[in-house]
Chains A and B, each alone.
Chain A
Amino acid sequence: MGKTLKEWIFTTDHKRVGVLYLIGSLAAFGVAGVMALLMRWELTTIGPTLTENPSTYNVWLYAHGAVMILGFQIPALTGFFANYCIPLMIGAKDVAFPRLNAFSVWLFYVGIILAILTFFIPDPPDVMWTAYPPYSTITSGNTAFYTFTVLILGFASILGGVNFLTTVAYMRAPGMTWNKLNIFVWCTLAAFVLQLIFVPVLGTAVTLISFDKYLGTSFFDPAKGGDVLIYQNLFWFYSHPAVYVIFLPFIGVVYEIVATFARNRVFNYKMVVYGGIFGIVGLSGVVWVHHLYVTGMADWIRIGQMVTTLLISVPVGFTVIGLVGTLYKGAISFETPMLYALGVIFLFLIGGLTGIPLALTSLTLHLSDTYYVVGHFHYVMAVAGTFAIFGGVYYWFPKITGRMYSETLGKLGFWITFAGTNIVFWIMMDIGVKGMPRRYYDYAHFPQFENAHQWMTFGAALIGVGFALAVINWIVGAARGAKAADNPWGSQSLEWTTQTPPPPGNWKEVPAIREEWDPYAYARP
Chain B
Amino acid sequence: MHRILVAAFLAAAAQATWAENAIKDPAAGWDRLWFEVLVDITVLGVAFALVTAWFILRYRRRNPNEVGRAEKLTAAAAVGWTVIPMFIFMADDFFLAANGWQLWNAYRQVPADRLEIKLESGMYSWDYTYPNGVQTQNVLKVPAGKPVLLRMTSRDTIHSHFIPDFRVKEDSMPGRVTYLWFYPQKPGEHIVTCAEYCGIMHSYMVGKVVVVPEAEFTAWYTQEEKKLAETGAQKKGV
B167 is an interface residue with CB less than 8 A from chain A:
yes
Rounded to whole angstroms, the CA-CA distance of A446 and B195 in the bound complex is 13
Is A439 touching B197 in the complex (CB atoms < 8 A)?
yes
Contacts of A45 in B (CB 8 A): none
Chain A residues 395 to 445 lying within 8 A of chain B, measured CB to CB, are 433-435, 437-445
Is A328 touching B55 in the complex (CB atoms < 8 A)?
yes
Contacts of A349 in B (CB 8 A): 45, 48-49
Neighbour of B173 across the interface among A228, A360, A490, CB < 8 A: A228
Chain B residue with minimal CB distance to A492?
B67
Minimum distance in angstroms from A359 CB to a CB of chain B: 8
Rounded to whole angstroms, the CA-CA distance of A325 and B52 in the bound complex is 9
B171 is an interface residue with CB less than 8 A from chain A:
yes
Rounded to whole angstroms, the CA-CA distance of A263 and B63 in the bound complex is 12
Rounded to whole angstroms, the CA-CA distance of A268 and B97 in the bound complex is 29
Is A54 touching B52 in the complex (CB atoms < 8 A)?
no
Contacts of B59 in A (CB 8 A): 262, 327-332
A73 is an interface residue with CB less than 8 A from chain B:
no
Is B100 touching A361 in the complex (CB atoms < 8 A)?
yes
Is B195 touching A134 in the complex (CB atoms < 8 A)?
no
| Binary contact track B92-133/A, C-beta < 8 Å → 1, others 0 | 111011011101101110000000000000000000000000
By CB atoms of chain B within 10 A, which of A327, A350, A361, A439 has the most? Answer: A327
A5 is an interface residue with CB less than 8 A from chain B:
no
B68 is an interface residue with CB less than 8 A from chain A:
yes
Known contacts: A306-B100, A350-B45. The answer to whether A332 contacts B173 by CB under 8 A is: no
Rounded to whole angstroms, the CA-CA distance of A126 and B199 in the bound complex is 9
Minimum distance in angstroms from B158 CB to a CB of chain A: 6
Minimum distance in angstroms from B14 CB to a CB of chain A: 13
Contacts of A451 in B (CB 8 A): none
| Binary contact track A344-381/B, C-beta < 8 Å → 1, others 0 | 01100110011011011111011011100000000000
Rounded to whole angstroms, the CA-CA distance of A365 and B167 in the bound complex is 7
A264 is an interface residue with CB less than 8 A from chain B:
yes
Minimum distance in angstroms from B91 CB to a CB of chain A: 11
Known contacts: A271-B81, A299-B108, A360-B33. The answer to whether A135 contacts B164 by CB under 8 A is: no
Is A135 touching B168 in the complex (CB atoms < 8 A)?
no
A458 is an interface residue with CB less than 8 A from chain B:
no
Contacts of B41 in A (CB 8 A): 353-354, 356-357
B203 is an interface residue with CB less than 8 A from chain A:
yes
Minimum distance in angstroms from A283 CB to a CB of chain B: 12
Known contacts: A223-B174, A440-B202. The answer to whether A317 contacts B85 by CB under 8 A is: yes
Neighbour of B199 across the interface among A135, A299, A302, A368, CB < 8 A: A135
Known contacts: A271-B82, A317-B89. The answer to whether A263 contacts B176 by CB under 8 A is: no
Is B48 touching A294 in the complex (CB atoms < 8 A)?
no
The number of residues on chain B lying at the interface, defined by a beta carbon within 8 Å of a beta carbon of chain A, is 83
| Binary contact track A45-72/B, C-beta < 8 Å → 1, others 0 | 0000000001100100000000000000
Rounded to whole angstroms, the CA-CA distance of A41 and B4 in the bound complex is 46
Chain A residue with minimal CB distance to B52?
A324
Is A321 touching B173 in the complex (CB atoms < 8 A)?
no
Contacts of A487 in B (CB 8 A): none
A2 is an interface residue with CB less than 8 A from chain B:
no
Minimum distance in angstroms from A9 CB to a CB of chain B: 40
Is A331 touching B156 in the complex (CB atoms < 8 A)?
no
Known contacts: A268-B81, A349-B45, A360-B100. The answer to whether A440 contacts B164 by CB under 8 A is: no
Known contacts: A134-B158, A294-B171, A349-B49. The answer to whether A55 contacts B200 by CB under 8 A is: yes
Rounded to whole angstroms, the CA-CA distance of A139 and B231 in the bound complex is 37
Is B197 touching A135 in the complex (CB atoms < 8 A)?
yes
B25 is an interface residue with CB less than 8 A from chain A:
no
Minimum distance in angstroms from B177 CB to a CB of chain A: 8
A227 is an interface residue with CB less than 8 A from chain B:
yes
Known contacts: A55-B200, A306-B100, A445-B193. The answer to whether A222 contacts B30 by CB under 8 A is: no
Is A523 touching B200 in the complex (CB atoms < 8 A)?
no
Neighbour of B52 across the interface among A327, A359, A524, CB < 8 A: A327
A310 is an interface residue with CB less than 8 A from chain B:
yes
Chain A residue with minimal CB distance to B90?
A314
Neighbour of B82 across the interface among A58, A318, A326, CB < 8 A: A318
Known contacts: A263-B67, A346-B49. The answer to whether A295 contacts B171 by CB under 8 A is: yes
Chain B residue with minimal CB distance to A53?
B200
Is A228 touching B73 in the complex (CB atoms < 8 A)?
no
B70 is an interface residue with CB less than 8 A from chain A:
yes
| Binary contact track A445-458/B, C-beta < 8 Å → 1, others 0 | 11000000000000
B175 is an interface residue with CB less than 8 A from chain A:
yes
Is B107 touching A331 in the complex (CB atoms < 8 A)?
no
Contacts of A523 in B (CB 8 A): 67-71
Rounded to whole angstroms, the CA-CA distance of A446 and B162 in the bound complex is 13
Is B70 touching A303 in the complex (CB atoms < 8 A)?
no
New A-B pairs, 16, CB < 8 Å, besides A330-B68, A366-B168, A368-B195: A54-B201, A126-B200, A223-B175, A227-B175, A295-B173, A296-B170, A299-B108, A307-B94, A311-B90, A311-B93, A317-B85, A329-B69, A332-B61, A359-B96, A522-B68, A524-B67
Question: Residues of A with Cβ closer than 8 Å to B?
Answer: 54-55, 58, 126, 128, 132, 134-135, 138-139, 222-223, 226-229, 262-265, 267-268, 270-271, 275, 294-296, 299, 302-303, 306-307, 310-311, 313-314, 317-318, 320-321, 324-334, 342, 345-346, 349-350, 353-354, 356-357, 359-363, 365-366, 368-370, 433-435, 437-446, 490, 522-524
